[in-house]
């Protein structure tokens, strides 16, 4: 028999809690990105951000052409801790982003929405901190069509979608001199940073490799995707991809480890391309892991405490992809700015890093003897135990966003490479040193084969030394 317990309901103080939740760690760019998450999740293909400077009346508006919300859905969306089911690939998580991200930047948040399936009426609600401070109740203000300014209704004229409007931008402008030139300049700089941030965080959506292509504008400027792996550079190297299995708190999941080596400075197609690939925080800071959750970048650069930043490894960038099922393992925070590499996979990741870092250092020093795209390796003498012909041919680069269909852990190397033994030497042929050959095989091998190759080469070296000694 279940026991009846006597309870008292203790509702949080709206005034105090909403105020504290303004400080969960957003800044302007990460807050806008969280609103954009919602638009993408609502299947928007066009997201327009407008930042208008008008002193105290300045505003920020994020308008999408997604599926929109019915009145009931909008009310639920405005609730702190919206109740909903999340699927494996949802960008949302806590049911907080819309409110906490917005009110971390402004004192008045209005959401207007039009949904295709209902009567196409526009519905709108508003969280206003003045109202909350006065009433100390969890109340949103109901706004009807006639009370809405054209600024909010105009993007929804005739089509489904959602508009999020931020007003009284106390945190963005600072209230001391909101009309001054410094405030205007500050806002302009923030817009530039925003463009850059969105181009990086959502590059896969902007490039159309995560479903339909999404377009974004900031004050009518089209946001350009920034691909950390510079895949349009012919000398970028895509190393084999590995699947790491993880079980955490009873949930099994797969993490994809995809290493890339960006070209040496002189091997970029132009100095501009080199500069562009550098990224928002420049080469040194941008080396390391790029952690993606459901296709959206949640952390860019840095080695998650596995190693320190190093000029010599700055060309190494590694995509780590996980699905929201593994959120607990990665300890994702509300503002989606930080994750932690799960302790269980650290050793495996460290091991996988070794060959990548080695190639990155060689590329940096230009000592690499490993194959470059288009290079063909010629007859090799004195290697009796090697297969007659090793051939690894791939149609091109690995396709970002392509789901892995097999359980095989590796995608073939992207270069077209032929290593042949036997045959007669022609004038263009050359001998390869054992070290060079070792490098070639490592670059063709799957990570689990690395120790085998290293072992064989060690034996080969010592047997060659022995036979030289005997001679």
Among 31, 32, 33, 97, binds ligand ADP (CB under 6 A): 97
Of the pair 97, 447, the CB lying nearest ligand ADP is at 97
In the complex, the smallest distance separating the C-beta of residue 162 from Mg ion, rounded to whole angstroms, is 12
Q: Quick check: 83 and 141 in contact, CB under 8 A?
A: no
Binding range to ligand ADP, per CB under 6 A, among 90-98, 196-204, 217-225, 422-430: 90-98
Among 63, 77, 216, 261, binds ligand ADP (CB under 6 A): 77
Distance, in Å, from the CA atom of 191 to the CA atom of 206, rounded to the nearest integer, reads 18
The dihedral sign for the CA sequence 435, 436, 437, 443: positive
In the complex, the smallest distance separating the C-beta of residue 79 from Mg ion, rounded to whole angstroms, is 13
Of the pair 335, 437, the CB lying nearest Mg ion is at 335
Among 27, 45, 82, 224, binds ligand ADP (CB under 6 A): 82
* 39 interacts with ligand ADP by CB under 6 A: yes
Q: Which residues of 376-412 are buried (b: 16+ CB within 10 A; e: fewer)?
A: ebbbbeeeeebeeebebeeeebbebeeeeeeeebbbb
First to last CA, the chain: 90
* 33 interacts with ligand ADP by CB under 6 A: no
Of the pair 37, 362, the CB lying nearest Mg ion is at 37
Among 13, 24, 25, 94, binds ligand ADP (CB under 6 A): 94
Supply 431's token pair.
Answer: 């001998």
Name the nearest CA neighbour of 418 among 382, 388, 391.
Answer: 391
* 84 interacts with ligand ADP by CB under 6 A: yes
DSSP string for residues in 182-234: HHHHHHHHHHHHHHHHHHHHTHHHHTT-SSS--EEEETTEEPPP--TT-TTST
Q: Is 280 helix (H, G, I), strand (E, B) or coil?
A: coil
Distance, in Å, from the CA atom of 443 to the CA atom of 213, rounded to the nearest integer, reads 33
Q: Is 417 helix (H, G, I), strand (E, B) or coil?
A: strand
* 277 interacts with ligand ADP by CB under 6 A: no
* 95 interacts with ligand ADP by CB under 6 A: yes
- Of residues 156 through 175, those in contact with ligand ADP by CB under 6 A are 162
In the complex, the smallest distance separating the C-beta of residue 213 from Mg ion, rounded to whole angstroms, is 21
Name the nearest CA neighbour of 219 among 43, 67, 27, 32.
Answer: 32
User: Residue 95 binds what, of ligand ADP, Mg ion, none (CB under 5 to 8 Å, by partner type)?
Assistant: ligand ADP
Supply 347's token pair.
Answer: 């050793």
Helix 434-444, helix 346-365: angle, nearest 10: 130
Of the pair 83, 266, the CB lying nearest Mg ion is at 83
Binding range to ligand ADP, per CB under 6 A, among 63-71, 149-157, 317-325, 345-353: 63-71
Name the nearest CA neighbour of 353 among 231, 253, 260.
Answer: 260
The size of the chain, in residues, is 471
Among 96, 148, 223, 244, binds ligand ADP (CB under 6 A): 96
Among 18, 42, 140, 316, binds ligand ADP (CB under 6 A): 42
Binding range to ligand ADP, per CB under 6 A, among 86-94, 231-239, 283-291, 351-359: 86-94
In the complex, the smallest distance separating the C-beta of residue 98 from Mg ion, rounded to whole angstroms, is 6
* 72 interacts with ligand ADP by CB under 6 A: no
Give the Cα-Cα-Cα angle 15, 18, 23 (nearest 5 degrees): 130
| Residues that bind ligand ADP in the complex, under the rule CB under 6 A | 38-39, 42, 64, 66, 69, 77, 82, 84, 92-99, 162
């Amino acid at each position: 028999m279940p026991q009846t317990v006597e309870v008292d309901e203790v509702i949080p103080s709206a005034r105090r809690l909403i105020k504290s939740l303004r400080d969960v760690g957003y800044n302007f760019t990460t807050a806008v990105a969280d609103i954009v998450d919602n638009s993408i999740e609502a299947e928007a293909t066009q997201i327009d951000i407008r930042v208008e400077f008008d002193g105290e009346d300045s505003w920020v508006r994020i308008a999408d052409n997604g599926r929109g919300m019915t009145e009931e859905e909008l009310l639920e969306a405005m609730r702190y801790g919206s109740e909903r089911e999340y699927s494996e690939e949802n960008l949302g998580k806590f049911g907080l982003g819309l409110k906490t991200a917005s009110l971390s930047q402004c004192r008045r948040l209005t959401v207007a929405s039009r949904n295709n399936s209902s009567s196409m009426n526009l519905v709108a609600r508003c969280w206003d901190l003045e109202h909350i401070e006065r009433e100390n109740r969890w109340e949103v203000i109901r706004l009807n069509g006639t009370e809405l300014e054209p600024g909010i209704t105009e993007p929804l004229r005739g089509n489904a979608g959602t508009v999020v409007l931020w007003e009284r931008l106390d945190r963005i402008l600072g209230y001391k001199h909101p009309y001054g030139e410094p405030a205007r300049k500050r806002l302009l700089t923030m817009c530039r940073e925003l463009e850059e941030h969105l181009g990086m965080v959502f590059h896969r959506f902007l490039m159309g490799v995560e479903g339909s292509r999404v377009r974004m504008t900031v004050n009518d400027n089209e946001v350009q995707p920034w691909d950390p792996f510079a895949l349009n550079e012919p000398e970028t190297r895509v190393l084999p991809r590995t699947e790491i299995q993880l079980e955490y708190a009873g949930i099994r999941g797969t993490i994809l480890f995809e290493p890339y080596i960006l070209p040496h400075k002189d091997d970029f197609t132009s100095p501009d391309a080199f500069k562009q690939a550098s990224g928002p925080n420049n080469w040194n800071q941008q080396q390391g892991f790029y952690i993606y959750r459901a296709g959206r970048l949640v952390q860019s650069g840095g080695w998650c405490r596995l190693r320190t930043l190093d000029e010599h490894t700055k060309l190494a960038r590694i995509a780590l992809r996980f699905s929201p099922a593994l959120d607990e393992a990665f300890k994702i925070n509300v503002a989606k700015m930080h994750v932690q590499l799960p302790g269980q996979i650290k050793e495996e990741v460290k091991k996988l890093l070794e060959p990548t870092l080695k190639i990155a250092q060689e590329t940096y020093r230009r000592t690499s003897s490993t194959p470059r795209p288009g290079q063909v390796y010629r007859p090799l003498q004195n290697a009796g135990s090697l297969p007659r012909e090793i051939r690894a041919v791939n149609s091109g680069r690995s396709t970002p966003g392509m789901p892995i269909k097999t359980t095989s852990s590796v995608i073939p190397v992207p270069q077209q490479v032929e290593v042949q033994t036997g045959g007669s030497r022609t004038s263009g042929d050359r001998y390869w040193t054992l070290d060079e050959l070792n490098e070639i095989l490592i670059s063709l091998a799957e990570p689990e084969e690395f120790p085998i190759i290293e072992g064989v080469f060690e034996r080969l070296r010592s047997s060659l030394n022995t036979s030289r000694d005997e001679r």
